[in-house]
Amino acid sequence: MLMQRTNQKEFIEPKKGSVTKSLILKTALEIASKSGLEGLTIGNIAETVNMSKSGVFAHFGSREELQVEVVRAYYRGFEGLVFVPALSKPKGLPRLKQMISAWLKISVGGDTSSCFFIAGAAEYDDRPGIVRDELVRSVKDWRAAILRAIQESVAAGHLKKSINAEALLFQLYSTVLGVHHDSRFLRNPKSLTIANKLIKEIFANK
Amino acid sequence: MLMQRTNQKEFIEPKKGSVTKSLILKTALEIASKSGLEGLTIGNIAETVNMSKSGVFAHFGSREELQVEVVRAYYRGFEGLVFVPALSKPKGLPRLKQMISAWLKISVGGDTSSCFFIAGAAEYDDRPGIVRDELVRSVKDWRAAILRAIQESVAAGHLKKSINAEALLFQLYSTVLGVHHDSRFLRNPKSLTIANKLIKEIFANK
């Protein structure tokens, strides 16, 4: 019913509705990057975009659906920052290295917000529901992309055929988790240098 | 003023007061292990222990002070589960290995709750205050203990003198973060086996 009403409204004012939805999403992404996905409430979003709570509800239906949309919006941004630049590199190790180094940049933070895949994993590991499901789906997609790049590196002869691709995925993923942890929680910027050296060694030995 | 009143009460009923405080802490630890430290409210604790909110406040003063006490209580438990068994092993690699394997057990979860040091790091990386400060202090203590065990392993001739102790600390810490992530968020139990093999390789090459 709500869906019908929203569609009807969008039919009458297509641009305004979608601009408003985008603004809400953008605001929600900013709030979530500071307070986590669980820090999102319809109330704080409504206040920031200067709308009524029911106005925000009309676009998303529920807090959980809004959080799911935020995860999807983050995923699209992640694709732009990490997947797309990697595709411009040759298949194999150059592409794999580009993926990891772009992801490391996001995880260290600075100008950009914390990586939702990492922060969200900790936030939702014990919290079942559609938000967790969407996060798991995103993270699994991302891990599948890394795994594919590892396999392409083997096929291209850049990595030995004897490597355990899943173990290498675990090792690379853990290294980024370590940098995220040290730089954001311990405010220790040295880890990025340590991690880059470690990744070089990992690839040199495989 | 509140402090004086609490002290006076404890003076009159020393046992009852401290038993109640322990019960509140125990309950708070259980809630935090499911919903995170930020999931703790004076309200949900009061409800679980069947007390008034002001009764809980009389023991802790504020929500933040209660959260700090929960971090300290977790730290004491962690010492019992991880530090103490390690001290029964000979200095050097046997002790270091025991520390990491006991910590891995906690991080995988199962019977025990999630590791607060790891879950709390993600929860408080962007949230300044006394709870974050206490968590950082605990994590730094724990990391210093691992670093000391690495240095003792070098001194005992179990690890090469040429190793970079900080890089090894990063590598071990990241590996546990990876297991915590995969087992709790992705519900992927294979990572523990991968991690144990990786740790063996790391020590064999150093």
Sign of the alpha-carbon dihedral angle for A172, B161, B81, B194: positive
What residue ranges define each of the domains in chain B, with the CATH number in brackets?
1-61 (1.10.10.60), 70-205 (1.10.357.10)
Mutation target for B interface from A170, A188, A191, A192: give the one with most B CBs within 10 A: A170
Q: Which two tokens stand for residue B106?
A: 């906690």
Of A125, A164, A190, the CB nearest to B114: A125
Contact B125 A185 (CB under 8 A): yes
Chain A residues within 8 A of B190 when measuring between CB atoms = 166
Q: Which two tokens stand for residue B84?
A: 């103490």
Least confident of A148-152, B23-27, B118-122: B118-122
Residue B82 has pLDDT above 80, yes or no: yes
The mean per-residue pLDDT over the stretch B27-42 comes to 88
| Residues belonging to chain A with any Cβ–Cβ distance to chain B shorter than 8 Å | 34-36, 38, 114, 118-119, 121-127, 135-136, 139-140, 164, 166-167, 170-171, 173-175, 177-178, 181-182, 184-186, 190-191, 194-195, 197-198
pLDDT value at residue B36: 83
- Residue numbers of chain A with a pLDDT score lower than 70: 1-16, 110-113
Cβ density class A180-201: b for 16+ within 10 Å, e for less: bbbbbbbebeebbebbeebbee
For A165, name the nearest residue in chain B, comparing CA atoms only.
Answer: B194
pLDDT value at residue B13: 46
Q: Is B177 exposed, middle or buried (0-12, 13-18, 19+ CB in 10 A)?
A: buried
Contact partners, residue A16, CB within 8 Å, separation at least 6: none
pLDDT value at residue B110: 61
Q: Is A145 exposed, middle or buried (0-12, 13-18, 19+ CB in 10 A)?
A: middle
pLDDT value at residue A183: 92
- CA nearest neighbour of B142 among B118, B161, B160, B164: B118
Contact A185 B124 (CB under 8 A): yes
Q: Which two tokens stand for residue B40?
A: 């703790």
Distance from CA of A142 to the nearest CA of B (A): 13
Contact B170 A177 (CB under 8 A): no
